[in-house]
Amino acid sequence: MHLPDGFLSPQTYLPAYGLAAGLWWLAARRLRRTLDAERLPWLAAVTALAFVLMMLALPLPGGSSVHATGVALLAVNFGVWTAFLAISLVLALQALLFGVGGVTALAVNALALGLLGSAAAWLAWRAVQPVHEVLALILAGWVSMVVPAAIIALVLGIQPAIAHDAAGRPLFFPFGLAVTLPAVLIPHALLGLGEGLLTWLGTLTLKRLRLRHAV
């Protein structure tokens, strides 16, 4: 999931922008060192891939579906920093060109989904890989869904406490942690299984394709 505009107080999104800006700069510098000449087209292509992975449906029985994120797939196969930059760029494209998601929420979304989601996925994958490769990939997918969901639930849930008027009425998102944590976490813990499947099968496919394209 990612947050729309208008539910986060400036006390939340302004510091988030400050933090994200520093990390974007760091990530760009790291990428420049490691990917040399091909870095720009490579990053653009991974960004377009991240964009379309977020449009991809994970079908549910009964005809409905939910959207994948592809965060773990990108983190495991292209590294955490590339995933962070690609997902941040996707969020910027979505907010400023397609008009979905939010501008104020962009930094929080980029940090939750792009950085912490990919980092958690990568760590889970690395930790479990020596024991069981497939399990490691599925776990990475699950973690990449649950960790950002928990962060977003936390950020939303503290809004009534940090932004309210003199009478105690909320100015932004109106529900506290007691509502947001279960409402966001329970469905995402289930959706994480679908994301795990995508991470596993997607990684298999990507490995084969990278051999074919020699990239």
Partner 1 sequence: MKRDRLLLILYLTAVVAATLVHEPSSLAAALVVLLLLAGHDATRLLRRSLRVILVFNLAVSLGYVLLAWLRGISPWETLLLINLRVLLLTLLTFLFISRVNLFRALDFSPTLSWLLALAYSQALGFQRAHAEFRLALASRCLERPRLIDRYRASAAAAAWFMDRALATARESALALRARGFFDA
Q: Cβ 73 to partner 1, closest distance in Å?
A: 9
CB hemisphere CA count around 163 (13 angstroms): 18
Give the interface with partner 1 as residue ranges (CB under 8 A). 4-10, 13-14, 37-38, 40-49, 51-53, 55-59, 61, 63, 65, 89-90, 92-93, 95-97, 99-100, 102-104, 165, 169-175, 179, 198, 201-202, 205-206, 209-210, 212-215
Radius of gyration of the chain (CA): 18
| CB nearer to partner 1: pick between 44 and 127 | 44
Q: Cβ 85 to partner 1, closest distance in Å?
A: 9
| CB nearer to partner 1: pick between 48 and 123 | 48
CA distance 57 to 40: 28
Q: Which pair of tokens denotes residue 208?
A: 């084969």
Q: Cβ 12 to partner 1, closest distance in Å?
A: 10
Q: Cβ 167 to partner 1, closest distance in Å?
A: 9
